[in-house]
Each structure stands twice: as structure tokens, then as C-alpha cells.
Amino acid sequence: MTSTNSSFPKQIELKGEGLVLRDWTEADLAAMPGLFDHPDIAYWTPIVSPFDDAAARARLDRDRKLRAEGTAILLAITVDGGAPLGEVMLRRAPEGTEIGYAVGPAHRGRGLAARAVRVMSAYAFEQLGAEQVILELEAENAASVAVATKAGFRLLDVPLITGEEKGRPFRLQTWGRTRS
């Protein structure tokens, strides 16, 4: 992104839908491998695999760098501000304000991702002035398609995004939700 982005606040805590989305902290480093070192996350996301203690440190450092640049924020998904259950990301990109997410395998099936995406979308609309937020996901990722639908997104009629990551080709659909 260009340097015209204003930076994000130094600290962010978003509440809603029975969740608290909060900054990652040093105390979370030990929990991160248990959330992100999983075959589903390795396959469907750009998160590195294997995800070990060094990867956790690198992710926390990258989070802080991207926030300082005004490019992205990564927040821990929690129910009470305590133990992280997953992550939600907001990224300012040329194609729009993008949201991404990952929920640890032990915490799936509770609607955490859809709720976190709705809370982060509200932040993008209300605090950042976004007119639309997008999700980029593979049609074959049934869980992410369900999250998109539950979070109020619709499939946009735009070209697929194609590429290769981690040695495998991908074709991403773009889902969008506009400011109401």
C-alpha cells in the first residue's frame, strides 16, 4: 500500500457478538502453535507450516510491523479477552479492505470465525470508512464458504484470483459485504 494510509491505533480491542478481538501479546506465543500448526490451516491459508515457536515469534513481529506501516492488523479471537482461540486479520490492499481468519481446530464449530468477521467488518465500516470489505477464498473450502455466508457476504462477479502458494495452485473467489 501507499504511504497515504493512516496507521492503525497502537492498541485495539473490539467487542461484539460474544467475542473480544484483541492484540496478540508475548504471553500468547506459547498458544499460537496449537492454533496454527494444523493441516487445514497449512492447506487453506498462507500461514507457514510447520508452525512452531519460531513461526509464532515471526508472526507476532510481522503483525507489529504491518500495523506500524498501516497495512494490516491481526487480532486474537477470544471470548473474554483471555486465551486466544484463533485470529482475524484486516488488510488494506489495492483490491479493497480484506479480512482473513483462522480458528484453532479445538475451537471450531462454535461460529467464532463468522462472528469475528462480522465484528471486524463493523470496525472497517465504522472506524476506517470502508465502503466494502472482501474475503478471498477457495470455493472448495466449504468451511470458509459457510463463514462467508453466515457473516453476510455474497459472492462477487469478479475474475478469480489465481496463483500458487506452498507448491500448489489456488483459485480464489472474492466475496464482499458492503456498508449498510
136 pLDDT more than 50: yes
CA-CA distance, 86 to 47, in Å (whole number)? 12
What integer is the mean pLDDT of 110-139? 96
Q: Give me 155's grid cell.
A: 459472492
CA-CA distance, 105 to 85, in Å (whole number)? 9
Phi-psi region of 75 (alpha: psi -120 to 50; beta: other; left: phi over 0): beta
What pLDDT, on the 0 to 100 scale, is given for residue 86? 98
What pLDDT, on the 0 to 100 scale, is given for residue 94? 81
Q: Kindly report the CA angle at 30 between 121 and 114, in degrees rounded to 5? A: 20
Write out pLDDT tens, residues 42-92.
Answer: 999 999 999 999 999 999 999 999 999 999 999 999 999 999 999 999 999
What pLDDT, on the 0 to 100 scale, is given for residue 3? 37
What pLDDT, on the 0 to 100 scale, is given for residue 6? 65
141 pLDDT more than 90: yes
What integer is the mean pLDDT of 5-20? 90
What pLDDT, on the 0 to 100 scale, is given for residue 177? 97
Q: What are phi and psi of 52, to 5 degrees?
A: -115, -170
164 vs 180: which has the higher pLDDT: 164
What integer is the mean pLDDT of 133-139? 96
What integer is the mean pLDDT of 4-17? 85
CA-CA distance, 134 to 115, in Å (whole number)? 15
**Prediction pTM value:** 0.93
Taking CB atoms within 8 Å and a gap of at least 24, the contacts of 52-55 are 53/29
Write out pLDDT tens, residues 124-133.
Answer: 999 999 999 9
What pLDDT, on the 0 to 100 scale, is given for residue 5? 55
> Residue 115: what residue type?
R
